[in-house]
Amino acid sequence: MHLMPHDIYMHEIPIALSSFLVILAAAVIAVALFRHLKLNPVLGYLAAGAIIGPYGLGYIHDVEQASMMAEFGVVFLLFVIGLELSWERLVAMRHHVFGLGSLQVILTAILLGLLGHYALGLAPAAALIAGGGLALSSTALVLQLVREQGERSTQLGRVSLAVLLLQDLIVIPMLVLVPLLAAEQSKIWVALGNAGLNAVGALLLTFLVGKQLLRPLFRFIASSNSPEIFSAFTLLLIVGVAAAFHSIGLSMALGAFVAGLLVAETEYKKQVEADILPYKGLLLGLFFMMVGMKIDMAFVMEHRWLLGGVVIGLVMIKTGIIWALCRSFKFSQGLSLQAALLLSQGGEFAFILFGLPESQTILGSENAALLMVAVTCSMAITPLLYAAGQWMLKTFNTQPCLAIPDQPETADLTDHVILLGFGRVGLTLAHMFSDEQVAYLALDRDPQTVARARALGHPVYFGNSAQKEVLLAAGIERAKCVVITFAHYSTALSAVVAIREVAPDLPIVARSSELEELMQLEAAGANHAISEKYESSLQLGAEAMKFIGIADAEVARLMSLYRARDYALAREQLTPASSANNGRVSFSRVKNVSTPNPQTNK
């Protein structure tokens, strides 16, 4: 019996479709469950893959069929890393990136490689790959933990970011080195030379052509005012450069990384990042599911003691090395312990390295599988290690973890104004203070905003305004006033609470959007808060009434009447809610805020 084309369509497509539906369903259920349990979604993807894969329930039999698409997740990840990496960022963190980060990777790779060679009997090339892969930590896991815990602007966040940046950079030569190690020994130096020449030539050509053409191309595409075309061009750029590098024998990931570096220098960086994030997340999740599908639970149970020893050894060795290096870079004991535990796991790039066909040949499929499972287990216990690190930080850390440097221009400052946030509103206030010869200092959590402001000569520092140590470093005890310009209510509220803990009597002027938020900021300790939406409506009404002939005095009386009435009404309406707590601050704490009588303004 011969199948007609429509028969093939009817029989083959549903099979592929059913596999796709199983993968999507498993991903949605597992990731949602892991997020509900406050666990990293990467672990959810790994678990989902293991459950539906050939060694689990067997819903997916042909893992290799989806491997090509999964590899694009790695390509997009490297593109994002290149996109987020700027020259200014590297220069600002150069000592920790190229000092602490380089030493961590080199020492860890050497020690773990030697241990693998002598304890597990790995050949030198296999030991080098194993040591290099295990020296890397999980960028996705660590940065998510740091972000969720509000540690991005602290020393812990900066140290972690510095080490992870170097690790992300070192992945590129590792991806180039692995195929060379798989070559015959007599040809390795020839292959290394050819690869080096190809890499240098490709990089120079890409940067020269990219610098000249990329910005005009983006400008032309953006002028079409079509978001779909802009997104399509972004995808074409990433895949095109990655494919070009692959065609000359280099890594697709290296090509994507270079493309990200080029786009990072253009003004279209933010839009590109927003466009490709959904693709990156979905494809990278598929990659982790493919890794999970290759986990053989029977193999894990058979080698459970060896696996446990590898996991414990990995965590202990990396913790010891990172702790010693942090101490040598003059970080406190508590912070060093916390950073060491936070970075002690294996990372997603180990899956990439150990999953390469050349790595499988050098390591052996059994050793590669063992190492990938060990990395997975180390990632699974990272939240517990982070919690242990927090306890150690509180127990042993006696030095304040400043998120901004204690520079002379802050140490000698007195009777100054502290601006929290340096966006549009903060910049306007800075110009006003400068014109009136008022000394000021600003804090902002966006490193790009800080870099731009400092390039223009403004005294702006990178720091978390909700951290007491940062406020003290900014000289809050000697300040005359604090102005909070954050548009985000929760950020402003956290800043008010932190300020009141270190400076109970310091005047605070805050910005809010809604009247309800204004009252909550005042209840938390702000002396005065301005509601942008409400004040804008009053100003619009005032200007309109002037144009229709109403006298200025009457306009001023009406504005004063409405302002007093509505602000007082908002306080009265919110007070009962505060008594029930409702998860909010108590409004009985409002101090130094008078409620005017509308009748007195008539």
111-120 pLDDT, tens per residue? 998 988 888 7
In-domain check, residue 402 = no
The more confidently predicted of residues 379 and 595 is: 379
Composition of the chain by helix, strand, coil, percent to 5 = 75, 5, 25
What's the pLDDT band for 246 if we cut at 50, 70, 90? Answer: confident
Regarding whether 464 and 345 lie in a shared domain, the answer is no
Looking at the structure, tell me whether residues 171 and 239 fall in a common domain. Answer: yes
- Note whether 295 and 432 are same-domain residues: no
Q: Residues 296, 426: one domain?
A: no
Higher per-residue pLDDT: 148 or 408? 148
Are residues 416 and 473 located together in one domain of the fold?
yes
Question: CATH code at 561?
Answer: 3.40.50.720
Residue 289 pLDDT greater than 60, yes or no: yes
| 401 domain-assigned | no
Q: Mean pLDDT throughout 5-19? A: 51
For residues 497-519, average pLDDT? 82
Cβ neighbours of residue 340 under 8 Å, at least 6 residues apart?
A: 318, 319, 320, 321, 322, 323, 326, 389
- Total domains present in the chain: 2
Confidence of residue 283 (pLDDT cuts 50, 70, 90): confident
C-alpha 318: how far from chain center: 22
User: Do 502 and 531 sit in the same domain of this protein?
Assistant: yes
Terminus-to-terminus CA distance in the chain, angstroms? 96
Both 263 and 325 in one domain: the answer is yes
214 and 329, same domain (yes or no): yes
Last residue of a domain, one of 369, 396, 423: 396
Same domain, 342 and 443: no
Which domain CATH number covers 22? 1.20.1530.20
Residue 70 confidence (pLDDT) = 64
Could you list the residue range(s) of the whole structural domain that residue 54 is in?
A: 5-60+69-396
Domain end (from 341, 362, 396): 396
What mean pLDDT do residues 176-204 have?
Answer: 63
State residue 481's pLDDT score: 92
Task: Give residue 461's pLDDT band: very low, low, confident or very high (50, 70, 90).
Answer: confident
Same domain for 105 and 28: yes
User: Which of 362, 396, 430 is the last residue before a domain boundary?
Assistant: 396
- The answer on pLDDT for 413 being more than 70 is no
Bigger pLDDT: 231 or 282?
Answer: 231
How far is Cα of residue 356 from the mean position of the Cα atoms in its chain? 27
Distance (Å, whole) CA 258 – CA 245: 10
Q: Tell me, yes or no, whether 518 and 577 share the same domain.
A: yes
Cα distances from 449 to residues 277, 430, 504, 532, in angstroms, run: 22, 14, 29, 22
As a whole number, mean pLDDT of residues 7-21 equals 55
548-578 residue pLDDT tens: 888 888 888 888 888 777 777 766 665 544 4
Higher model confidence: residue 77 or residue 458? 458
Q: What integer pLDDT is reported at residue 401 of this predicted model?
A: 43
Q: Which residue has the higher pLDDT, 186 or 24?
A: 24
Question: How is residue 600 written in tokens?
Answer: 């007195």
* CA gap 242, 72 in Å, rounded: 10
> Is residue 139 one of the residues assigned to a domain?
yes
Which residue, 394, 444, 420, is CA-closest to 499? 420
> What does the pLDDT look like over 517-546, one tens digit per residue?
777 777 787 887 777 777 778 778 888 888
Does residue 97 belong to any structural domain of this protein?
yes
Mean pLDDT of 405-429: 71
Highest mean pLDDT among 89-98, 349-358, 585-594: 349-358
pLDDT of res. 318:
93
The verdict on residue 358 lying in a domain is yes
- pLDDT for the residue numbered 267: 65
pLDDT at 407: 39
Residue 403 is assigned to a structural domain of this protein: no
Distance CA 447, CA 463 (A): 9
Q: Say if residue 335 is in the same domain as residue 460.
A: no
Q: Is the pLDDT of residue 368 over 90?
A: no
What pLDDT does 587 receive? 34
Across 149-153, 365-369, 513-517, least confident range: 149-153
Number of alpha carbons in the 13 Å side-chain half-sphere of residue 392: 19
